[in-house]
Amino acid sequence: MGCISWVHQLKKVKEFMNIKKEIEAFRNDMTKWRRDIHQHPELGFVEHRTSKIVAEKLEEFGLEVNTGLAKTGVVGTIRNGEGPSIGLRADLDALPLSELNEFEYKSVNEGRMHACGHDGHTTMLLGAAKYLAGTKQFKGTVHCIFQPAEEGGGGGDVMVKEGLFEQFPVDAVYGMHNMPGAPVGTIAGWAGPILASADSFELVVQGKGGHAAMPDHAIDPVVIGAQIVNSFQIIASRQTAPLDSVVVSTTRFNAGEAFNVIPDSVTIGGSVRTFKSEIREATERSLQKIAEGICMANGATCSFKYHKGYPATVNHSEQARLAMQAAGKVVGEENLIREPNPLMASEDFSYMLLAKPGCFVFIGNGTGEKGGCMVHNPHYDFNDEILPIGASYSASLVEQELAI
Ligand code: NI
């Protein structure tokens, strides 16, 4: 992801933000928690240390704590009488990446790094939990959901499948992600798709190998494969309505080794991104039809595999409205980005939104030197300045939706 175009829609970001004073009071604690988690990154489903710290803190704040869902998942519950139930979700895992930052809290686990800010997401939810458990200015139940393995492991899906919402029923569920390049004090969210689905495909063109000088004695899978790669582009340009979105990127093309040998087969693979399930299904069918059709026309055979990854993250309209209303109370209406401008990246919070109504928002991580480095980069760092903003947003959402 590069420059975020919606940043330019913003007016000057207001200096003053309506951060809850109780949360502001433990800003320094949150910064310490975040840096400790940052220093000890763990991969999906083995976030044992992180999960233990989260559970201990939640207990200390007075929440009911449940562990073990999806291996390292933690759910902390705050009950305050009869009322609706709300889920707030954060992710625990880091990435298989070597950190190139040089500050004192840089990763001590070689080849592991919190390069997506999940250390910050976890801390913001811990901050909200501490505030909510301490003040209880709401009527109903709050479930703070800390899920493992967002980065490819589908921990959100595993939690839902293991009975998250049966064990911890919610009327709605909310999540957020930091957004480098968006100024501190901005929050973006809207109804409908906010992130894409992420699928992959792999196919083998089985031709007939032979001498490069005698192609008529062979069935050349390279030429056939090249036709397939080119033809895949008609899915976006000719087969999909111009206002719908689909990306088909062929990223792997493996064939042959010698200059003078026509290889026997070619393996082709790539990625597919969409926002709508019907476009996703149609794209899968088209890829297979194109690959098999071209192979057949050329006397080759084709084996085609399609792997469905995370579905698109689609915000429910009523919850998007409520989330942005709560966000506006914290950062000011003028610092909200409401115009839909979804990203082609993906997120496994999507599984929770398929199970329950809810909304996912982006919270500005800052620009330039302070928070502007894009996620998944070895120089990335979550901006501690936004910890109280994210925590206050979640707290405001609870107090608004579970109003006394
Ligand atoms: Ni992330």
User: Does the pLDDT value for residue 15 go beyond 80?
Assistant: no
Distance 306 CA to ligand 1 centre (A): 24
User: Does the pLDDT value for residue 13 go beyond 80?
Assistant: no
Distance 43 CA to ligand 1 centre (A): 12
Distance 177 CA to ligand 1 centre (A): 7
**What's the pLDDT score for residue 12?**
53
Distance 361 CA to ligand 1 centre (A): 12
**What's the pLDDT score for residue 50?**
98
- Phi-psi label, residue 136: left if phi above 0, alpha if psi -120 to 50, beta otherwise: left
Distance 312 CA to ligand 1 centre (A): 15
Please, what is the average pLDDT of the chain? Answer: 96
Query: Is the pLDDT higher at 11 or at 335?
Result: 335
Structure tokens at 401: 């939706």
* 162/38 Cα distance (integer angstroms): 28
Confidence of residue 17 (pLDDT cuts 50, 70, 90): confident
* Cβ neighbours of 145 (radius 10 Å): 27
User: Does the pLDDT value for residue 14 go beyond 70?
Assistant: no
**What's the pLDDT score for residue 7?**
57
User: Does the pLDDT value for residue 310 go beyond 50?
Assistant: yes
Dihedral Cα 99, 100, 102, 105, nearest 10 deg:
-10
364, 302 Cβ separation under 8 angstroms: no
User: Does the pLDDT value for residue 333 go beyond 70?
Assistant: yes
User: Does the pLDDT value for residue 335 go beyond 80?
Assistant: yes
Q: How far is C-alpha 208 from the chain's CA centre?
A: 42
Distance 359 CA to ligand 1 centre (A): 16
Dihedral sign (CA 175, 180, 182, 186): positive
Q: Which residue has the tokens 């959100």?
A: 156
Distance 122 CA to ligand 1 centre (A): 11
Distance 347 CA to ligand 1 centre (A): 7
Distance 297 CA to ligand 1 centre (A): 43
Distance 129 CA to ligand 1 centre (A): 21
Distance 172 CA to ligand 1 centre (A): 21
Distance 286 CA to ligand 1 centre (A): 30
**What's the pLDDT score for residue 342?**
95
Q: Which residues of 277-308 are buried (b: 16+ CB within 10 A; e: fewer)?
A: eebbebbbebbbebbbebbeebebebebebee
Distance 116 CA to ligand 1 centre (A): 4
**What's the pLDDT score for residue 1?**
39
Confidence of residue 2 (pLDDT cuts 50, 70, 90): very low
Contacts for 45 with CB less than 8 Å, ≥ 6 apart: 70, 71, 72, 93, 148, 149, 153, 155
Distance 273 CA to ligand 1 centre (A): 17
